[in-house]
Amino acid sequence: MSVEFNLLRYPAGVRQERLRQQLGVFLAGLVGTLLLAWAGLQVVAMRTSTLQQELRRLQALATQQQAQAKAAQQRAQDGQVRQRLQNHLMRVSQQQQALADVHAALQDEAPRSGLKFQRLHIESGRLELQAQAPDAQRMGLAGQALSERLGQTLAVAGLNEVVSSGESHDTRPGVGHLAVAVTWQGAWPALQTGARPDAARRMGGGHEPALAP
């Protein structure tokens, strides 16, 4: 039995084997590269998903903080409105009480001095009171008493004689009973710092209450 070798074909077989080996190495490297690339893409995708979740969390947190800030601003505005309303109601109450105090002082003085109070006008910065007295002496005493009661000096802004249907120490033939008509003026803000504590702390404006004779 004899074995024959084809020496012409042998080098070609070696080349083919080497090519197959090189191709296998290339394919293995390619597969490894693709696997590494796929793994990298998975890592990037995971990181992207994490970043997106963090972004959504931050957006939700920002939305919540904006809502809280808006609610806090609304509460602050509501508080300011309530405070302004309370201050307004307090001023209205103080004005009403101040007028009640002044009116009480005038009503207390009327029977003692025989004055007939005709008009009381109060506005910002000024108090004006018109009355009739039986005579100048009682007019002066009434003015002094009211000044002490209201905690300020009431100045005589007008004074004249008028005919009165009531009692008077001055009676002239053909004329009748004469009385003294007086107009007192004072500074209305002075009622805040006057001698009478309850009336001195209050202030009002633009009022003209009716007075009993």
What is the mean predicted confidence (pLDDT) over 32-38?
Answer: 87
CA-based Rg of the chain, rounded to a whole angstrom? 52
- Residues 141-158 have pLDDT tens digits of 998 998 888 888 889 998
Two tokens at 70?
């808006």
Q: Where are the chain's structural domains?
A: 96-200
Confidence grade of residue 165 (pLDDT, cut at 50, 70, 90):
low
Q: Are 180 and 139 in contact (CB under 8 A)?
A: yes
Query: In the numeric block, which tokens belong to residue 92?
Result: 């209205």
Mapping DSSP to helix (H, G, I), strand (E, B) and coil, where does residue 172 land? strand
Residues 6+ apart with CB under 8 A from 101: 196, 198, 199, 202
Whether 183 has a pLDDT exceeding 90, the answer reads yes
User: 96-200 architecture in CATH?
Assistant: 2-Layer Sandwich (3.30)
pLDDT number for residue 189 = 52
DSSP H or E segment with residue 133 = strand 126-133
Q: What is the pLDDT of residue 75?
A: 87
Only one residue has tokens 């490297």, namely 29
Across 20-29, 66-75, 128-137, least confident range: 20-29
The rounded distance, in Å, linking the Cα atoms of 67 and 38 is 43
DSSP-assigned letter for residue 153: P
Handedness of CA 32, 34, 39, 44 (dihedral sign): positive
CA distance linking residue 129 with residue 154, whole number of Å? 9
- Stated pTM of the model: 0.48
Q: Tell me which range, 3-12, 98-107, 200-209, is most confidently predicted by mean pLDDT.
A: 98-107
